[in-house]
Structure 1
């Protein structure tokens, strides 16, 4: 069946009759819900005598709109019928007259991307003999998949883009004809990459761009290429043995330009330099960050060495039984390694480094215990459980990755309970650095 939306892609309102209405639910999520979480909608699966709301097919998502003011959240084709999921608390009576209204902005967007895809596909075939094996109409950017292992250069993309926009300015007509698939003479010039659906009945729709190509397709399309406004080929990337070419058409190209200009203005303010300087300024910033990080790492190592030497310089009778040190300057395990290389052996050490977040917050980091083997193997698993980490140890060393520093004080309390320290000139909990 050819639906009303396929006969006239520009029809925005339509009166029709309800054929059937059955209670149904729909899991709505992703881009349609602006959320990664799905929610279950309650409503009815409604079949009308005809529809201006396109059912998903041919790589084109379904239309949205309303039936008697009730939101249509999905339209799917089942054989020769279109099933509309209508979010509603009340059903529709069989035989009732209803008015369908189309979400025109969504339809126009889909028509521009779909007709643009046909044009790009035809030009890649004409210029390079690259066959389009599939395509995707994404929420913001679309792509075609070309059957070639060769990465397409920017020059080749610019060539196709230039030819496409020349044809858009010419306003080449786009027409839809119905042909008999069994009639070879009528059907022979129509591209049919996926063939007819198994449940197809009757005549086949062929979309023709004058002088460019004929392509069997069930989707909705513009009337002439000028309605595409413009095409921009963004980039190409290799995926296994194929190439994906990403593109935007019409209103999407305008939105993309607006987004890029806004981002350019934000970068100009942040980098304190115009667009022509952005690359140089970012490279300079990266070099400064790299140099600063290198200096910071050296300072941490110097601090670790100084802390270890402070303990080493104490007489054995003055040294604490255990020592706790926490750094929140970033996950730098070298800090712990440097400290332990220079620290006296007989002290039990509980050391952590983590991201720059307070000890009472969730944070990822690294933990090391070193000391008497039996105590290390006893405390290690307990500390990992308290700090939500994973790790293991051998003999006098235990280490692991941790995810939550909120229980650091509980870990320290376990050590205090074990050692029951006495007052000395150096506090037994030693330094808790930040």
Structure 2
């Protein structure tokens, strides 16, 4: 079955008769979101459609039927099933008006036709076969059947040749052929073959002088409508290579994003694009030096805190609490414990420098019975995980706001007071 959208990819409105309409629900993920929402609506089948049903690596079209939003279109045999969001359906036999989301269609046509062009050039120039492709919402990629990582020079070669053909305005046509005699087209590719439930003639998309490829998707009618091609990068994935690309309007959008980010970097780094790398390297060097100095300072503070206890008049306190918000730095605790007196129960935490509850690290050291009692209890209060052995217990926590409650429990246990003493 060849739908109206496949006969004329530029048709934006169309009238067709409703064949069936049944109540349905759809798990639908809005653009830019990660979680799906459940929509109420109807599965509507018309005699024909200008809304492309998902297939051939191309997502479905969006649009409207009589003003109601179409959120999904899937092919079922020779029919296209439209999910129409809403609480009122359509009577069988009435003629409805289909409207196309043109910006989405144009984007998909540019990416899909561009994919055919890139695929053909990689095959012609390097004998790399495309085994699959993915049309994403921001960028797309083709999967090449090769284990060799493609160089930037090779990507530039394909990109240059593709843009030359776009400037020439090579014609793109769609032919309907009998699958039984498709071998007459010597340059026709059919990497995935026809669907098992395919009925009737097959579509062959032909780029003038470049290739012919069996495909069910919607396409431009001239390569000039692609505007331009930009190959972003290549990455090795298992035994294949993915080549990521953007085409047409996406190139302009990507350029705009890059330029805006460049302006933000100019302000942040206080220098132009030619200085960015040097300025960032300088920042990294300064950061390493600062981090090294900070770690040394924390160790000095830890030793100083331990010496304060050592220098207090006897007897030593039964327990000691120390909580720092200088950043999660376990070495501070280790340094403190190496220099602190024995025979004291220690409750130590370090956490992020934040006004929020804060995540951090907790360490207990003391008598075995006390450690085994308060370790799991404190982790429950602080919403953390950890474990201990004998006289030591440590864990990571997610809610530092409960630390005062932990201090109060220690004060009550060791001194019998309701309010913790400040140590």
TM > 0.5: yes
Say whether 1:20 aligns with 2:26.
Answer: no
Say whether 1:4 aligns with 2:4.
Answer: yes
Distance 1:40 1:392 in 2: 42
Say whether 1:376 aligns with 2:374.
Answer: no
Q: How far 1:428 moved relative to its partner?
A: 4.7
Q: What does 1:239-254 correspond to in 2, within 5 Å?
A: 239-254=237-252
Which residue of 182, 205, 215 maps to 2:203?
Answer: 205
Distance 1:7 1:35 in 2: 33
Say whether 1:294 aligns with 2:292.
Answer: yes
Secondary structure in 1 matching 2:342: coil
Q: How far 1:37 moved relative to its partner?
A: 2.3
Secondary structure in 2 matching 1:200: coil
Q: How far 1:120 moved relative to its partner?
A: 0.2
CA RMSD of aligned residues (A): 1.2
Match of 2:389 in 1: 394
Match of 1:106 in 2: 104
Distance 1:103 1:394 in 2: 64
Match of 1:334 in 2: 331
Aligned residues of 1:66 and 1:102 also touching (Cα < 8 A) = yes
Secondary structure in 2 matching 1:221: coil
Say whether 1:411 aligns with 2:410.
Answer: no
Match of 2:259 in 1: 261
Q: How far 1:245 moved relative to its partner?
A: 0.3
Match of 2:322 in 1: 325
Secondary structure in 1 matching 2:406: helix
Q: How far 1:114 moved relative to its partner?
A: 0.1
Distance 2:52 2:64 in 1: 12
Which stretch of structure 1 is more off in the superposition, 266-275 or 175-184? 175-184
Aligned residues of 1:362 and 1:406 also touching (Cα < 8 A) = yes
Q: What does 1:8-407 correspond to in 2, within 5 Å?
A: 8-29=8-29, 32-317=30-315, 319-358=316-355, 361-407=356-402
Distance 2:376 2:391 in 1: 14
Aligned residues of 1:180 and 1:187 also touching (Cα < 8 A) = no
Distance 1:258 1:216 in 2: 35
Q: How far 1:177 moved relative to its partner?
A: 0.1
Distance 1:227 1:148 in 2: 30
Distance 1:336 1:375 in 2: 19
Distance 2:187 2:120 in 1: 13
Distance 1:92 1:292 in 2: 69
Per-residue displacement from partner, 1:276-309 (whole Å, max 9, x unpaired)?
Answer: 1011111111111111111111111100000101
Distance 1:116 1:35 in 2: 27
Distance 2:31 2:252 in 1: 24
Aligned residues of 1:321 and 1:428 also touching (Cα < 8 A) = no
Structure 2 runs not aligned, ≥5 long: none
Q: How far 1:188 moved relative to its partner?
A: 3.9
Distance 2:182 2:194 in 1: 15
Secondary structure in 1 matching 2:34: strand
Secondary structure in 2 matching 1:352: strand
Distance 1:187 1:197 in 2: 19
How many residues were matched structurally? Answer: 421
Q: How far 1:316 moved relative to its partner?
A: 2.3
Which stretch of structure 1 is more off in the superposition, 381-390 or 413-422? 413-422
Q: How far 1:187 moved relative to its partner?
A: 4.1
Quickly say closer, same or farther: Cα 1:282–1:171, change in 2 above 3 A.
same
Runs of 4+ in 1 over 6 A off after TM superposition: none
Match of 1:429 in 2: 422
Structure 1 runs not aligned, ≥5 long: none
Relative to the length of structure 2, the TM-score reads 0.97
Q: How far 1:421 moved relative to its partner?
A: 6.7
